[in-house]
Amino acid sequence: MKTTVTLADVKDAREALSKIVHNTPLDRSHTFSAMTGKEVYLKLENLQKTGSFKIRGAYNKIRLLTAEEKAKGVIAASAGNHAQGVAYAATAAGIKATIVMPEAAPLAKIMATRGYGAEVALAGSIYDEAYQRAVQIQEDSGQTFIHAFNDLSVIAGQGTIGLEILEALPDVSAIVVPIGGGGLIAGVAAAVKEAAPHVKVYGVQAAGAPAMYISKQAHTVKATPDAVTMADGIAVKVPGDLTFPVIDKYVDDIVVVDDENTASTILMLLERAKLMVEGAGAVSLAAVLQNLIPVTGKVVSVISGGNIDVNFISRIIERGLVKAGRRIKISTHVLDRPGSLQRLLAVIAKLNANVINIYHDRIERNVPLGQSVVEISLETRDALHSDEIIMGLRREGYHVDMI
């Protein structure tokens, strides 16, 4: 029985997928290149069908099922992207699909999976718990299980990304890949290291879900008790026993990034590159921007997906603006008489700040008689502008506190 993926497997998948999936753009980023001193390229799998790379592995697996396996229908567990890939591929093949997703999966991913024709069941708080429920259902239903990462046909399908990168950029120095269970990087590494052994392959995990990072250090599969990260697509506690040997053999190193850096990278991609990218898709670039990849020359970050909930994007934007000093909230006191608030706002207007909202209270317990407390949220250009606003208000006699 076969236990690993070869370059021939990936090439076979590439041929089969050529008319199914997009050969996604490999875009050189002037902005990120200037920021890092490297030539940074983005492999834009967020522009893939279903919004992520997962359709590659799912379709490759389903096309190889026997007639008997197809007749039973398929079942999968997924944090969202594999769900959509399986749903799309199963519907295209005329097969019934059941997907078990974590209860906390983004609504956009749940709705999209149903939209592609799958039946969706919600179970558990993270992928591993949804997987356990899917196994239970499969034992009762007899459906064919399509694993999100621990399957050789799935790994081969994901590896087609590596071949596309080598064809588009033959002199690439390094490829940086997000890691959850390891299916994507196992496929990419197997293809790249067999075709071009000199090219470095680096993996990136979320600091709150570092199972593969720990496993790589120990050279054996290690699980973590929790997987807590905003990057839901790579929140995996137990690495794959099929993916790990490939990763241990071929991947040069694995690094971790925290959620703060991931969130700021999502915001930067949205603002500077006009790309909507989910947390799991942004960790590869976050690692490059944090100078965690010790390579010069041409570096490709695989942007693995863009299926992010719009409400979550809104929170990231707000948080990012605050962190960058472009949103501030201040507190001060004014005299409780007509025109006092107007005078304060006139000073703020002169300082070119935009008022988002105001809270005004003259009866709060700690406010002296004859005065009112005013809390104002302001939109500014940057942190320097925020400092100028506070200093300008103090010059006008206001005692200003940052909230």
The DSSP-derived string for 169-189 is -TT--EEEEE-SSSHHHHHHH
DSSP class of 256: E
Contact 55, 48 (CB under 8 A): yes
Catalytic residue among 49, 54, 216, 298: 54
Helix 310-323 to helix 259-272 angle (10° resolution) is: 100
**How far, in Å, CA of 280 to CA of 82, rounded?**
13
Asked if 264 is an active-site residue, the reply is no
Asked if 304 is an active-site residue, the reply is yes
Q: What are phi and psi of 256, to 5 degrees?
A: -125, 150
Lookup result for tokens 């025109």: 339
Catalytic residue among 301, 304, 372, 386: 304
DSSP class of 121: E
**How far, in Å, CA of 44 to CA of 300, rounded?**
10
Distance of alpha carbon 163 from the chain centroid = 22
**How far, in Å, CA of 147 to CA of 123, rounded?**
16
Contact 214, 179 (CB under 8 A): no
DSSP E strands: which ranges in 103-149? 119-122, 144-145
150-153's contacts with Cβ under 8 Å and 24+ in sequence apart are: 150/181, 150/183, 150/240, 150/241, 150/242, 150/243, 151/57, 151/61, 151/183, 151/242, 152/2, 152/3, 152/4, 152/5, 152/9, 152/242, 153/9, 153/13, 153/57, 153/60, 153/61, 153/64
Pair of tokens at residue 358: 């105001």
Catalytic center residues: 54, 304
